[in-house]
């Protein structure tokens, strides 16, 4: 199992780091994929260096893709034709697309959530033109998994572990993390 977390200037630190950490604890291979080489700064100033540049990602090598929110991180991801094409390719192949906060708006831009039930950051739901909004903390609809924001990052990450590594693994990690 190999998944990638997309990272752009202004990414949401909690959503990115919690998801990365929890997935790694489950034994899932996680790549951080940046829009550029070198350090990328989050919305609160955290700087990270990604494993790979998005241009080098191959949808065929990935089992899942994660789109965090953060402002202007999600805007920057949505402006990237490479990101939008990667999302479309993953969706066409039936691979999992996970997104949190305002990240589902990038999935909307890519045109892959038509008719799906999704959730997103409070106040951004009016930008969902083709999907049905639900206020739940985490929603799964087929290959689309979405969540509300920084405060739901742990729920989101554990749902991804459950999906990709099994319920028992998710429960073990939940217990170890005192969730």
Residues classed as catalytic: 101
4 SS3 class = strand
Two structure tokens written together for 121: 């950051």
d(CA 65, CA 63): 7
- Asked if residue 72 has a cis previous peptide bond (ω within 30° of 0), the answer is yes
Q: What residues pair up with 49 in beta bridges, in sequence order?
A: 39
Within the chain, where are the H helices? Answer: 13-25, 73-78, 81-92, 104-110, 153-165, 167-176
| Nearest CA-CA partner of 142 in 92, 109, 97, 104 | 97
Q: What is the DSSP letter of 13?
A: H
* Host H or E run for residue 79: none
CB 51 within 8 A of CB 10: no
């Amino acid at each position: 199992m190999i998944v990638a977390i997309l990272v752009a200037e202004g990414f949401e630190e909690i959503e990115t780091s919690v998801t990365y950490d929890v997935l790694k604890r489950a034994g899932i291979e996680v790549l951080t994929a940046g829009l550029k080489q070198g350090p990328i700064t989050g919305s609160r100033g955290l700087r990270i260096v990604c494993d790979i540049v998005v241009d080098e990602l191959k949808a065929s090598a990935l089992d899942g893709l994660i789109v965090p929110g953060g402002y202007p991180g999600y805007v920057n991801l949505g402006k990237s034709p490479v990101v939008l094409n990667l999302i479309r390719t993953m969706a066409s192949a039936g691979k999992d697309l996970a997104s949190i906060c305002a990240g589902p708006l990038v999935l909307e831009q890519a045109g892959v959530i038509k008719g799906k039930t999704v959730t997103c950051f409070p106040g951004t739901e009016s930008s969902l033109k083709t999907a049905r909004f639900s206020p739940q903390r985490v929603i799964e609809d087929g290959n689309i998994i979405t969540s509300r924001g920084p405060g739901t990052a742990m729920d989101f990450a554990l749902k991804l572990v459950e999906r990709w590594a099994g319920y028992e693994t998710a429960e073990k990690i939940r217990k170890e993390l005192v969730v």
